[in-house]
Amino acid sequence: EDHPLQRSRADHGTADAPLLARYRGVATDAPPSVWFMRQAGRSLPEYRKLREGTTMLDSCLIPEMAAEITVQPVRRHRVDAGIFFSDIVVPMRLAGLEVEIKPGVGPVFARPVRTEADVDALPVLDDSFEEALEPIRQAVRLTVTELGSTPLIGFAGAPFTVASYLVEGAPSRDHLAARALMRSRPEVWERLATWVAEASGRFLRAQVLAGASAVQQFDSWAGSLSEQTYRAGALPYSRALFEHVADLPVPRVHFGVGAAHLLTPMHEAGATVMGVDHRITLTEAARILPAGTPLQGNIDPAVLFTDEAVRFAEADAVLASGAAASGHVVNLGHGVPPETDPQVLTDLVAYLHEQTAAACSA
């Protein structure tokens, strides 16, 4: 590829990263590649110390702090990628919505968006939004310089998951208000989800243009939808989000929780790699998806709280199962729980890196 981005990234040495080869389905005999969703954050004492006195969302907008937090787990655990430290609601904050992340709860919006009038009142995403993204670009530039040859993964929340928070105003167990709006006022839902996809898509594109080597779309709540409802009310907006980076030479990972029944439509939304949670085996996922789809996953986070023997057996099983895919990047089935002993993660990475590529595929 001769996209100018490719050249600038090669300067940092990420062009030869085995993780990116696996995301592209290119065979490599390097040891297994691994990173962890939510590898940055509360499981790390150095994170808690740095964050002291700064709110979660403020820390995302201080470039030096966001960069340092992103690099901390790479330094400590020797994982094969950084995941940009930010949050799925950061673009909403940058667009001007009032949102906080309540510790132990999650994102809380001051004014839920439920009616046509609420949607009319959403901020216009004009040039001032591009300017507001500047701390994100700066944080990414600092991070990729610091990471050197280790790739940085950029991310955004899927419109369905982010819009659920907007409609509910706060985390909810079954996203009833969001799912009800989708079905009772589809035209209002469409305008809301389109707005979210635009804001999140530009947030994602800014990360790639500033140096991220791959992207992941997180659809944490997609699993609450049937395939039919997903296709009608979520897929078009997830596709619109991915389209913001479709012209750039970066792998596009799509991850959902409890979404085994949605692997095919989530892939159709424009993903080049599928993230898989621990409720389905990688072998099964590979059977469902088109041949040649690289996979990411899916160690059950529960084994972070077991004896090492159980944990390493799970790692072996995931590598063996992932061999069914043409390209496998190891991850957890969902994020690192805050109460995880960081040494457990460091040892798990070391164990995975001791395995030969023969144990996994491409």
The residues annotated with a catalytic role in the active site are 38, 42, 51, 87, 165
Residue 137 Cα distances to 93, 206, 208, angstroms? 16, 6, 9
Contact status: 61 vs ligand CP3 (CB under 6 A): no
Q: Choose the stretch contacting ligand CP3; rule: CB under 6 A; options: 11-19, 32-40, 277-285, 306-314.
A: 32-40
Question: Which C-beta is closer to ligand CP3: that of 109 or that of 326?
Answer: 109
* Min dist. Cβ of residue 165 to ligand CP3 (A): 7
Contacting residue, 99, 101, 282, 330, with ligand CP3 by CB under 6 A: 101
Query: Should residue 38 be labelled a site residue for ligand CP3 when binding is judged by CB under 6 A?
Result: yes
- In the complex, least distance from residue 192 CB atom to ligand CP3, rounded to whole angstroms: 17
Closest approach of Cβ 120 to ligand CP3, in Å?
26
Q: How many CB atoms lie within 10 A of CB 145?
A: 12
Query: Within its chain, how far is the Cα of 261 from the centroid?
Result: 19
Residue with the shortest CB distance to ligand CP3: 41
Residue 236 found at the interface with ligand CP3 (CB under 6 A) = no
Give the nearer residue to ligand CP3 in terms of CB position, either 53 or 104: 104
Task: Decide: residue 22, CB within 10 A, 0-12 exposed, 13-18 middle, 19+ buried.
Answer: buried
Q: Is 261 in the site for ligand CP3 (CB under 6 A)?
A: no
Rounded distance, CA 257 to CA 185, Å? 26
Residue 39: CB minimum distance to ligand CP3, A: 5
Binding of ligand CP3 by 88 (CB under 6 A): yes
Whichever of 40 and 273 has its CB closer to ligand CP3, that residue is: 40
End-to-end Cα separation, the chain, in angstroms: 20
Site residues (vs ligand CP3, CB under 6 A): 37-42, 51, 56, 83, 85-88, 101, 103-107, 155, 157, 161, 218, 220, 335
